[in-house]
Chain A
Amino acid sequence: MITVEGLTKAYGGFKAVDDISFVCQPGRVTGFLGPNGAGKTTTMRVMVGLTPPTHGRVTIGGHLYRDIPNPGRHIGVLLDASAQHAGRTGREILSIGAKTMGLPESRVDEMLALVSLNDTEARRRLGNYSLGMQQRLGIAHALLGDPSVLILDEPANGLDPAGIRWMRTLLKGYADRGGTVFLSSHLLHEVELIADEMILIGNGRIVAQGDKTSLLAMDTNVSSLVMSLDNARLITALEQKGYTAAPEGEGLRVNCAPADVGRVALEAQVVLTDLRSGAAGLEDLFLELTSDSQRDVLTEGATA
């Protein structure tokens, strides 16, 4: 498990990470979500001892990273798949990793097979790899030492949809066997599908954390989206019950639960063609919580 306690990293007056604390449990995939420049990578760099923290500390399985002997055997790290010598072949990159950790060359073949890089691809130089191939190689490198903790920065970056599904299955299986997985992303959909636990970060501070259900519960505005054969009659019926309905797209948005809308429609004998919850999804929540640190200001209603 990974424990982050009161971690702050300041560069001069700028706080890249500002007093964050959280725990990543074994057997679970923890997603670290935030816009570009929110402090995700800095946090991960502190975790593996590449950046000294200004305050606070990170322990992995109770140890500071630098106190772990042969850390590759305990913690798999992928910070940047392109941070490898462009003139070295894929196989050679894994071989020197395996040699450092004291693993047999057969482990390299196993990992290449696991990430579906064939012999020809493994003999090519990293400079000739596509982003997706670099990412696969990076994941293979992280898994070399059969670690019990994985720390992956944007692991799905550059993978095609099939590759993303493959990685999701791989990491889920890894967590199910008791491993701790901590991965970052700026893409909500990636994390939403794979992570059991989510930590949302913006401007160096944690803005929300929890599983998907508890995060969605943070959105207290109940609303429904409804379409009917006679919207005008439905609006009148709804307003008589004290609800407000406003046109949205081809239908209406109502400030009550779908069940209430259904009941009103039944009484008014309006035929509904569509009825669903209008609660803000995780994406809206994410954008709202991190709005301070988003570079692009979204105008209301711009996203349908």
Chain B
Amino acid sequence: MSTTAAAPVPIDVNGTEQVPMSRLAAVEFRKALDTRAGRWFAGSILGLCLVVLTIYAFAAPDSDKDYEDFLSIGGGVLGYFLPILVIMLVTSEASQRTGLVTFSLEPRRSRIVLAKFIAGVGLAATVMVLAAVVAVVGTVFGQLSGASPEWTVDGNLAFNGFVLANLIGIFVGFAIAMLLMNTPAAIVGYFAYSLILPIAVGFLGFLSDGFEKVAPWIEFNTAQEPLFTGDYQPTGEEWAQIAVAGTIWLIIPLVLGIQRLLRIEFK
């Protein structure tokens, strides 16, 4: 392949492979954990998981100390904090200005976006596995405190309540991070979305019956509740609510966020 512009001193790039996606993703994975903030945050999430489950092991009634109980509580703790790790991974490119280097080493930005998605999912998978291990520890503590726990895990809980709910959380983190591209703002935005919004919706639902019926269609946290409560198996209508609210709160922000990341000028 020759270039159309007849440059007097061309650089031969034919012998150079582009950076493989696996390497980009591995680098992004490493970047999430190689800073003091990243390492401490990941450690703290697991530490918090352990503390919460230990307290639960000694405080809860013996009949509620099955492995499933510990897994769903651990999943809940993760669900709140895992997206922040992803937010830091994305927003640091602008807030810590590492984007100058990242995007001059790989100017095709969409590849970096994909690498970050892969790294984020990989990160979530790693932390989930570790949390599942912590849940084992919690269950053993429960056993020591006198309970006789069940070790079986319902597939719906494992997939819907633990894996799917956390993956959704991570992609919400991606969307908020890319839209705001600023670490503190994105973290505040995330908590506004995950803590304040459901409370506001609950309050409005309390005031008006009509709103309570509409809420799961337009508020994503409310829509996701069937994933990690009850029998962990949303009904057809509940899946539809997840899809509708998910389009509003996840798909649209994610698309806008990616567009923004592809265009923004990293200064």
User: Which A residues contact B (CB, under 8 angstroms)?
Assistant: 1, 3, 25-26, 45, 48-51, 59-63, 65-74, 77, 79-80, 82-88, 92, 96-97, 99-102, 125, 141, 148-149
Q: A69-B16, A70-B18, A83-B97 are in contact. Are A77 and B104 (CB under 8 A)?
A: yes
Q: Does B230 contact A (CB under 8 A)?
A: no
User: Is B7's CB under 8 angstroms from A3's CB?
Assistant: yes
Interface residues of B in 5-20 (CB under 8 A from A): 5-11, 13, 16-19
User: Is B16's CB under 8 angstroms from A51's CB?
Assistant: no
User: Which B residues contact A (CB, under 8 angstroms)?
Assistant: 3, 5-11, 13, 16-19, 23-24, 26-27, 30-31, 34-38, 92, 96-101, 103-108, 265-266
| Residues of A close to B38: CB separation below 8 A | 87
> Nearest chain A CB to B1's CB is how many angstroms away?
10
Q: With contacts A45-B265, A100-B105 known, what are 12 further pairs, Cβ within 8 A?
A: A1-B8, A61-B10, A62-B9, A65-B107, A66-B107, A68-B16, A69-B19, A74-B11, A87-B38, A96-B27, A100-B27, A149-B11
Task: State which of B11, B35, B98 has its C-beta within 8 Å of the C-beta of A62.
Answer: B11
| Residues of A close to B26: CB separation below 8 A | 99
User: Is B104's CB under 8 angstroms from A70's CB?
Assistant: no
Give complex CA distance A63, B18 in Å: 15
Q: A51-B265, A96-B27, A100-B23 are in contact. Are A63 and B101 (CB under 8 A)?
A: no
A-B contact pairs, 20 of them (CB 8 A): A3-B7, A49-B107, A50-B265, A61-B11, A62-B3, A65-B107, A66-B107, A66-B108, A71-B107, A72-B104, A73-B16, A74-B11, A84-B96, A85-B31, A86-B96, A92-B34, A96-B27, A101-B19, A102-B23, A141-B101
Give complex CA distance A138, B107 in Å: 19
User: Is B13's CB under 8 angstroms from A1's CB?
Assistant: no
| Residues of B close to A51: CB separation below 8 A | 265
Give complex CA distance A202, B104 in Å: 26
Nearest-neighbor residue (CB-CB) of A85 within chain B: B96
> Nearest chain B CB to A69's CB is how many angstroms away?
4
| Residues of A close to B7: CB separation below 8 A | 1, 3, 59, 61-62
Task: State which of B13, B27, B35 has its C-beta within 8 Å of the C-beta of A99.
Answer: B27
